[in-house]
Amino acid sequence: MRKRRNHDAGFKARVALEAVKGERTVSELAGEYGVHPTMIHQWKKALLDGAADIFERGGKKPSTEVDEETVRSLHAKIGELAVANDFLSRKLKPWTGK
């Protein structure tokens, strides 16, 4: 039994673009690149389905800005949870035997 291979996004895009061009059949591409034809069909479909998103967003990833207040409140919550965790771990030591 062969081990499952993970292909990087660049490889998938290259193969899918060649499939979209239609200069060679999917079977020929599968033989050349050593992947199953079904995978090439899936990559081609994903490429065609996702192509419109590139133009809707302007080709840029949306920025994820977080304001200072959110960061402060999250740090405070982490501190509270750390204190509670320490307290509970000390109280549970007699029952766990550690």
pLDDT of 95 > 90? The answer is no
Domain count, the chain: 2
Residue 91 included in any domain: yes
pLDDT, one tens digit per residue, over 2-45 is 677 889 999 999 999 999 999 999 999 999 999 999 999 999 99
Q: Name the nearest CA neighbour of 13 among 54, 46, 60.
A: 46
Residue 88 included in any domain: yes
Query: What whole-number percentage of the chain has pLDDT above 70?
Result: 88
Which structural domain, as residue segments, surrounds residue 72? 66-98
Q: What is the pTM of this model?
A: 0.55
> In which band, very low, low, confident or very high, does the pLDDT at 1 lie, cut at 50, 70 and 90?
low
In this structure, are residues 31 and 11 in contact, taking their beta carbons and an 8 Å threshold?
no
Residue 36 included in any domain: yes
Residue 75 included in any domain: yes
Residue 2 included in any domain: no
